[in-house]
Structure 1
Amino acid sequence: MKLYPYLNFDGTAEEAMRFYQSVLGGEFEGPIGYFGEIPRMEIPESEKQRVMHSSLRINNQVKIMASDTSPSMGHHWVKGNHNYISIDAPSKEEGERYFHQLSQGGKVEMEYQKTFWGAYFASFEDRFGISWMVNYDLKSGEE
């Protein structure tokens, strides 16, 4: 079984996904689909450019999927605090880079710092309202 985060946005899905790609790398799996492309469906002009589905493959184990809500279909975006995406960084420096870039314009809960459990860790909300954790477990002899 593979589990992937699926994120919903209120009209900023494409911007968010392109931003995540600029920081984390990866490739989109197929084109980004828009609500306005749904055949034989009446969509308000204001929703035609909202993302119906996008999938960003970071590597063989990780991908992030996302869409915008469609108010005309009864979908309303509500910001929640119960979902995080957790990144297990490959190095202390890479973890710091992820933190600084992803948290830019967002709200930091905990700065990227050495913790009592032998890791560097940060938690924050990005500028799109998505919560993240970045963790790097120190190797023997590392500070």
Structure 2
Amino acid sequence: MQVSPYLHFNGNCEAAFKFYEKVLGAKIVMMLTHEGAPADMPTPPEWKKKIMHARISIDGEIIMGSDAPPAHFHKPQGFSVSLSVADPAEAERKFKALCEGGSVHMPFGKTFFSKGFGMGADQFGIPWMVNCPLEGQ
């Protein structure tokens, strides 16, 4: 069994996944727009280029996402996407890149449980936690 987060975006899923490709080294595995849907599936013209389903791989881990129709979009809350990065300098770099244009909720720094940890949200409103675990954790 595999458990993968599925993120809903406010019309900017493609931009978000391209951003994750750049700052996290993710690979976009697939990106299906509503344009690729069957002809009998009603889709407003302004929605044709929006993402129906997308998948990225980050070091073999999968995150999926799509653009939520405007009436169904809710600001993300009650979760964070968590990254575990072995090297503290690389963890901090990823954290800072993710939070650029977004917000920092807990600055990246050493804690009693990690070599480095930080919490924030990216420019798309997705909450992230970046952790560099202590040895043996």
Q: Note the C-alpha offset of 1:116.
A: 2.2
| TM-score, normalised via structure 2 length | 0.91
- CA deviations 1:38-88 (Å, max 9, x no partner) are 11222111111110011011233x0111100124xxx51111321210001
**CA distance in structure 1 between the aligned counterparts of 2:76 and 2:16, rounded to whole angstroms:** 17
- CA deviations 1:9-52 (Å, max 9, x no partner) are 0110000001001111132223x111122112221111111100
Residue 75 of structure 2 corresponds to residue 79 of structure 1: yes
User: Structure 1: which 5+ runs fail to align?
Assistant: none
Within 5 A, what are the aligned runs for 1:55-94? 55-60=55-60, 62-71=61-70, 76-94=72-90
Q: Note the C-alpha offset of 1:100.
A: 0.7
| TM-score, normalised via structure 1 length | 0.87
Secondary structure, aligned partner of 1:22: helix
Pick aligned residue for 1:122 from 118, 121, 135: 118
**CA distance in structure 2 between the aligned counterparts of 1:9 and 1:111, rounded to whole angstroms:** 25
Pick aligned residue for 1:105 from 101, 105, 117: 101
Residue 9 of structure 2 corresponds to residue 9 of structure 1: yes
Secondary structure, aligned partner of 1:82: coil
**CA distance in structure 2 between the aligned counterparts of 1:91 and 1:15, rounded to whole angstroms:** 27
| Aligned residue pair count | 135
Q: Residue 27 of structure 2 aligns to which amino acid in structure 1?
A: E
**CA distance in structure 2 between the aligned counterparts of 1:5 and 1:17, rounded to whole angstroms:** 13
Whose radius of gyration is greater, 1 or 2? Answer: 1
Secondary structure, aligned partner of 1:2: coil
**CA distance in structure 2 between the aligned counterparts of 1:48 and 1:37, rounded to whole angstroms:** 8
Q: Once superposed, which parts of structure 1, at least 4 consecutive aligned residues long, lie more than 4 Å away?
A: none
Secondary structure, aligned partner of 2:112: coil
Q: Note the C-alpha offset of 1:102.
A: 0.3
Bigger share in strand? 2
